């Protein structure tokens, strides 16, 4: 019996488009995550970050930065004075 090693090439752009994601938008939001000092994302970007997180497509540094940005958002809400 012979062991055979096969390499499969996958076009990720098809996979991404199936889930409503675009490579250029992904790269832009990843750069924005790393460059941001405070939460400043629109609804589309937040949804894209959610999808990237779900598919494990963020690096550890991007995930840490996104978590800190989202945590800062929650801290501001908790610190807000009641009406």
pLDDT single digits (tens) 1-16: 788 888 877 777 777 7
Residue 4 lies in a domain: no
Q: Does the pLDDT of residue 83 top 80, yes or no?
A: no
* Count of domains for the chain: 1
In a domain, 70, yes or no: yes
Is residue 1 in a domain?
no
- Structural domain of residue 63, as residue ranges? 12-79
Label residue 48 exposed, middle or buried (CB < 10 Å: 0-12, 13-18, 19+).
buried
Q: pTM for the full model?
A: 0.70
- CA 70 – CA 83 distance, rounded (Å): 23
- The reply to whether 5 falls in a domain is no
**Element at 41 (helix H, strand E):** none
Instruction: Check residue 81 and report its DSSP letter.
Output: P
Residue 30 lies inside a defined structural domain of this protein? yes
Question: For residue range 9-46, what is the model confidence (pLDDT) as tens digits?
Answer: 777 777 778 888 888 999 999 999 999 988 899 999 99
Residue 35 within any structural domain of the chain: yes
pLDDT of residue 74: 56
Asked if the structure places residue 6 within a domain, the reply is: no
> Would 52 be classed as within a structural domain?
yes
Is 16 within 8 Å of 55 (Cβ atoms)?
Answer: no
Residue 36 CB-half CA count within 13 A: 23
């Amino acid at each position: 019996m012979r062991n055979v090693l096969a390499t499969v090439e996958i076009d990720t752009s098809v996979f991404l488009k199936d889930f409503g994601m675009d490579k250029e938008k992904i790269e832009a939001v990843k750069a924005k995550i790393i460059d941001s000092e405070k939460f400043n994302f629109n609804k589309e970007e937040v949804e894209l970050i959610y999808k990237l997180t779900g598919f494990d497509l963020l690096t550890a540094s991007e995930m840490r930065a996104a978590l800190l940005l989202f945590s800062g958002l929650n801290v501001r809400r908790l610190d807000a004075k009641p009406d």
